[in-house]
Amino acid sequence: MQRFVAIESVGPSTVRSQGKGVLAAVREYLAVIDLNAVPDDPKGYKRWLNRQTKKLVGRLEPLARRRPWGTARKVLNLFMRTAFYNHYLRESYDLDSLKDLLEVPLDSVTATALRKEAKKEGVRLSRWPGLCNLTPATSEQYQDFARLLASHQGVTPAVHLDIILWTANR
């Protein structure tokens, strides 16, 4: 089931133009993450996600045409969101405890929607640098605003905001 979720959550368009072999490497990495080891507290989850991002970046650097931090973070967030949504993985690994910890997967569509909403709320977000130039600091700024927006809109958990923003802007 985890391999299925790894394949389902990251399609070819997700890593388009990232380099030959990136899609296969991403899917293989996600398929074997130890979901039993995912912490269910905010600081622990953040550290875990940062470690997973760094490990995946290490796997992608030899394959990627561009800087892979943003791609690695996006696919990890897509995978964790889909694993959370999958009944079998959610039950088997107690992923329900992650509902308030998951990040919104960022891409140009979601970032554009967040910037539009930020402007309405009087919040200034950094210019979206593109996935290949995304840094941890810019990602965190967008995540902080996504959590705020989700709270203002009554979207619980905040990871659902991605579905709302992404589908509304496609």
pLDDT band at 23 (very low <50, low <70, confident <90, very high): very high
Dihedrals φ, ψ of 125, to 5°?
-100, 150
Considering the entire predicted model, what is its pTM? 0.94
Query: Each residue of 78-115: pLDDT tens digit?
Result: 999 999 999 999 999 999 999 999 999 999 999 999 99
pLDDT in tens, 41-76: 999 999 999 999 999 999 998 887 778 999 999 999
Q: Are 166 and 109 in contact (CB under 8 A)?
A: yes
